[in-house]
Amino acid sequence: MLTVKNLHASVGEKEILRGINLEVHPGEVHAIMGPNGSGKSTLASVLAGRGTFTVTGGEILYKGRDIRNLTPEERSWAGIFLGFQYPIEIPGVSNVNFIKAAVTEHRKQKGLPELSAAQFLKLMKEKMAIVEMDSSFSGRAVNVGFSGGEKKRNEIFQMAMLEPDLAILDETDSGLDVDALRIVATGVNRMRRPDNATVVITHYQRLLDYIVPDFIHVLYKGQIIHTAGKELALEIEEKGYDWLINK
Amino acid sequence: MAEVIRYDFGAGAPQTVLQGFEKTPAAGRFALTLAPGAAATVYVLQDEPSVARLDAEYEVTLAEGASLQMIFVALSGAQISNRVRIALQGPHAECRLGGLYLPSGDQQMSFNVRLSHDVPECYSSQLFKGILRDRAQSRFDGLIYVAPDAQKTEAYQANHNLLLSTEARAEARPQLEIYADDVKCSHGATVGRLNEDELFYLRSRGITAEEAARLQQMAFVGEVLEMVSDSALRDSLTARVLTRL
């Protein structure tokens, strides 16, 4: 599904990713952990096509196709979804208009007709239920005045609406209390299929109790320095990252 | 000088005036008088061929307890200039001003507003928003004047501009001239560009860059359009605005 080969990326003169290699197959869940400033969020942004970062070397192959020159919307149409660490507030644009514009464009790209208002509302209701969001959220401006937990639930709701093949969830657990964490994680798990994949970026082991990864990668100074199975999370929880960095 | 067209609003049911719709003029000299307790809403639509030059002048007085809402929607015209003089002359008079301007090409649009609180306990608000593209220019001069004995005045003014090209130019000159000491007044002005974080967020969900920019612009002007209480009129103005974004 995703093959990242020797990926280098910079912001301005500063190199942040310094040779990332990653292979994600359909059906897998990968976790990327690492100390602050190791490049985790940069990796997520680069995969989603954020213009702030320049890819200076390497390849990103998604479903066998090099996506380095695709725009963010083209990557979205191809089935890539980024769950934001800090979801953006958009005053004046309602959640329903926002997601409707997104779904309509996705359908257009697939050659499907626009959903009727009734069909769309039914779909929205169904997907909002996955993250226990009530209908009052649809009329509110995107993320404006949402609590931390509500913002993250809104991310997973959008993911449910767009049904991506590759979801990259950037610190989806940050700012969540235990209940919100459970709701978000359950939502993500319900969307798992043998033909899609999830990359979870996190600081903490606790999210991985709910979303159980097949692989855990440790990112440090822009490189993956260690890869292991799910048991690594507990080891990191106990011993921190130093033993891996100093290895 | 052009002849002055007068509107006298008496107390009673609220009245609505549409300027610049179908056959009514969008420019000229107008004198509006609101008697005690009168309520009026005035909409001014300026949507002319891009060679037209428009000059509009409004002299407005409000007596005790009168209430006026006035909304300008300037969509097109080579040179549009609006000069607005409003005097709140009786206690508890209220005036809400809204303005939207969307110049493109080489168009120039300007608003020169003087809102004067002559007596105590009046309220005024001003919200002017502009989106400028190409080589367009705009200018907002807004003065709130509060007379020495106009205590308990509430007066607010905001002017926000969005530049969509590097050659567009918006000038904002908000001014307060306050001679009373027990007042609530504020003013603010900004000139900015489309928010890049919002744009990336929208695009990451599959919304094209073009559509994302339209959504952002609609959100920007929405605050002014929401002031239009008549829903049919609001929808028709929104549709006209959309064709310009």
**Of residues B96 and B12, which shows the higher confidence score?**
B96
| Partner-chain residue, chosen from B204, B208, B219, that has the shortest CB–CB distance to A90 | B219
pLDDT at A246 over 90: no
Q: Report the residue of chain A nearest B216, measured CA to CA.
A: A93
What per-residue confidence (pLDDT) applies to B51? Answer: 84
Q: What strands, in cross-sheet order, belong to the sheet with A2-11?
A: A14-24, A2-11, A54-62, A65-66
Alpha helices by DSSP H, chain A: 40-48, 72-77, 95-109, 117-130, 136-139, 148-162, 178-190, 206-210, 232-239, 242-245
Task: Check residue A58 and report its DSSP letter.
Answer: E
For chain B, what percent of residues have pLDDT higher than 70?
100
Q: Please give the average per-residue pLDDT across B41-59, as a whole number.
A: 92
pLDDT at B22 over 90: no
Name chain B contacts of A88, Cβ cutoff 8 Å.
197-198, 200-201
pLDDT at B1 over 80: no
pLDDT at B26 over 90: no
Q: Decide if A232 contacts A49 (C-beta within 8 A).
A: no
Q: Report the residue of chain B nearest A51, measured CA to CA.
A: B200
**Of residues A95 and A203, which shows the higher confidence score?**
A95
What per-residue confidence (pLDDT) applies to B87? Answer: 98
Which site among B205, B227, B245 would you substitute to test the A interface, given the most A Cβ atoms closer than 10 Å to its Cβ? B205
Residue A213 touches chain B, beta carbons under 8 Å: no
The alpha carbons of chain B give a radius of gyration, in whole angstroms, of: 18
pLDDT in tens, A187-205: 999 999 999 999 999 988 8
Indicate the pLDDT class of residue B182, thresholds 50, 70 and 90: very high
pLDDT in tens, A100-115: 999 999 999 999 999 9
What per-residue confidence (pLDDT) applies to A171? Answer: 92
Cα angle A155, A177, A224 (rounded to 5 degrees) comes to: 65
Across A34-38, A142-146, A202-206, B204-208, least confident range: A202-206
- Bridge partners, residue B61, by sequence: B33, B87
Domain boundaries of chain B, sorted by first residue: 4-194
For chain A, what percent of residues have pLDDT higher than 70?
100
| ipTM of the complex, rounded to two decimals | 0.96
Q: Which residue has the tokens 């097109």?
A: B76
| Partner-chain residue, chosen from B209, B222, B223, that has the shortest CB–CB distance to A73 | B209
Name chain A contacts of B219, Cβ cutoff 8 Å.
90-93, 141
Name chain B contacts of A97, Cβ cutoff 8 Å.
215
d(CA B155, CA B152): 10
**Of B124, B142, B130, residue with least CA distance to B188:** B142
Give me the domains of chain A, ranges plus CATH numbers. 2-245 (3.40.50.300)
A188's CB contacts (< 8 A; 6+ apart) are A156, A159, A167, A169, A172, A198, A211
What per-residue confidence (pLDDT) applies to B165? Answer: 96
What per-residue confidence (pLDDT) applies to A26? Answer: 97
What per-residue confidence (pLDDT) applies to A206? Answer: 86
Q: Please give the average per-residue pLDDT across A2-14, as a whole number.
A: 95
pLDDT in tens, B201-226: 999 999 999 999 999 999 999 999 99
pLDDT at A247 over 80: no
Cβ within 8 Å, pair A48-B204: yes
Q: Report the residue of chain A nearest B223, measured CA to CA.
A: A92
Min Cα–Cα distance to chain A from B160, Å: 14
Q: Please give the average per-residue pLDDT across B165-180, as a whole number.
A: 96
Kind and range of the H or E run holding B194: none
